[in-house]
Structure 1
């Protein structure tokens, strides 16, 4: 228990977002460089201060792939401990529909390329997948899990809790 004069250390996980963007039997993936090694992920990244989860998912997908997408559903919320840095991660996975692509757009500096792969090709990447939540979110989507985006809310501003 903390007192007003000595604030307690508060544990905070990394909050991330990711998009499962499907086109027929293929999914949008990015090859990125992580700690000097290639790794594969869905378009994904960290929530920024003041940003809604939905806005973060749209921004990260555009920055990493050049694709503008429309969010359709929340697939799930995944909690795990990263083997990359050892910290806890809470990931919000969205289903999105591809709208348009800008092939001239510069991608984030750590992104090598964005490609469309089948679920089988993604599974074959094995240890090169950045997170176990990649296949988990694809499989949930393939299994029909769809949560309405309205389950999320964003209350901008600096009000008191």
Structure 2
């Protein structure tokens, strides 16, 4: 509680302001000031924002769409709480991909589109930002996926 009070009083241009907290068992949340058009995850772990942070965020949206799962779900079992840890392994393996795809999408997409989309999502959330595709590469890939439909 002391840390929360301390963080709430911190004021610096390079620190996102803590507005409050929520202690609703079993979940505990910190509430920070809204950052329009920014990814808190990228800011939190890199200290600065870049287009590669936006690419990561797009990859997460793609994974959420493909799997029908939230990016973070504390109700999932240990080791599967964070979507990237397990969803990024979808890859091009047809059997593996079918198990991880959102069952509500069954029969609504070409298999090749699903494969390319999951590969793109995996590239977008690469741990090293240098290994993520550029915005132009993402656009070209998405246009190719769209053309498969």
TM normalised by structure 2 equals 0.24
The structure with higher relative contact order (CA 8 Å, sep 6+) is 1
Question: In proportion to residue count, which structure has more strand?
Answer: 1
* Rg larger in structure: 2
